[in-house]
Amino acid sequence: MKKPSLRFRLTDAFYIAMMILPIVFGIVLKVLTKPATTGISITGAGIYFTIPMPIQDFPVTESQVNSVIALVVVLFLCLYLTHGLTEKADLKRQHFAEMAVTKVDDLVKENMGEYFNGFTPFIIAILALSAVSSLLTLCGLFPPTSDINIVGGWAVLVFFLITYYKMKCGPVNYLKSFTQPVALLTPINLISEVATPVSMAFRHYGNVLSGTVISVLLGSALAGLSAKLLSFLPGFLADIPLFQVGIPAVLSLYFDLFSGCLQAFIFAMLTMMYVAGAFDAETFFKKKARKSAKNKS
């Protein structure tokens, strides 16, 4: 294996820098705009500025900015991983890229079937965007996934996909599917149709947000506990944050790392399940066969 050229290494360095710089930019922006809070405050994303729009104003918030940061990070991660692909797989990152793509591909094939082969990049996108967004908390940034609007947008997209694949068998069949198994259940079917994206959005958003809430509550509780225990000590000794050392880190391990990745996986899995479940392959292929037979005759 020959040594990579200078140009190659410079491009690599550029990609890595572009993965780190957006996060640094986010941190700097947060430091500059958000005043340090004292005490407990659980709020949504901070608003940088608001763009007036019809129906509803469009507030450009932390979650918007951070999701764009996550997008840029994922984009440059992709570029970095696929930089210098060769047939012989000389670079370690190529093994990682191939493993990731083939793993997701297998997952999609297993859960959705051969018809949905083109879904792999979409699932990769959901997994990467959701995971990276959640993991931004590790850098102290506001996680966009704890904003209902971000996750809601994704869920709406999934809803569109579900509807699209239900429509594949024709609009009549689509409307008829609401009256299954009996016409009496139509309102409930309608509700469950709408509930799908709502539940997906709430599940993801709620999990990430609850992690933040519990972390904040526990942090303040631990602070109170240390203050209470050390209150008999004189002077600055009473201010030692005894219990705030280490314990929140364990919780962060679960709520930020584990939960963030798990929710991304769950969201992707649910997307696959719902979209694949919406597609009535049997009817579709039967209809297609009938159509082609008709065209022939």
Partner 1 sequence: MQSLDVISVNLWQMLVSLANLVLLFLLVKKFLYKPVMRMLETRRAAIDKDYSDADEAKQQALSDKLQYEEKLRDAKSEADSVVKKAVATASEREKEIIANAREKADGIVRQAENEALLERKKAEDAVKKEIVEVSSLLTEKVLEREVTAADHQRLIDSFIEGIGDDDGTD
Q: Which residues bind partner 1 (CB under 8 A)?
A: 33-35, 42-48, 51, 53, 55-59, 61, 63-64, 67-68, 71, 74-75, 78-79, 81-82, 85-87, 89, 94, 97-98, 101-102, 120-122, 124-126, 128-129, 144, 147-154, 156-157, 209
Nearer to partner 1, 36 or 237 (CB): 36
Q: How many Å apart are CA 69 and CA 136, to the nearest integer?
A: 9
Q: How many Å apart are CA 177 and CA 252, to the nearest integer?
A: 44
Q: How many Å apart are CA 227 and CA 87, to the nearest integer?
A: 62
- CA-to-CA separations, 95 to 14, 82, 101, 156, in angstroms, rounded: 21, 10, 10, 34
**Contact indicator for 65, 48 with CB cutoff of 8 Å:** yes
User: What b/e sequence results for 141-166 when a residue is b if at least 16 CB atoms lie within 10 Å of its CB, and e otherwise?
Assistant: bbbbbbbbbbbbebbeebbebbeebb
Q: What is the DSSP letter of 247?
A: H
- Here the tokens at position 60 are 């450009």
Q: What is the DSSP letter of 220?
A: H
Nearer to partner 1, 41 or 231 (CB): 41
Nearer to partner 1, 74 or 107 (CB): 74
Nearer to partner 1, 81 or 162 (CB): 81
Nearer to partner 1, 140 or 241 (CB): 140
- Min CB(279)–partner 1 separation in Å: 18
- Min CB(134)–partner 1 separation in Å: 14
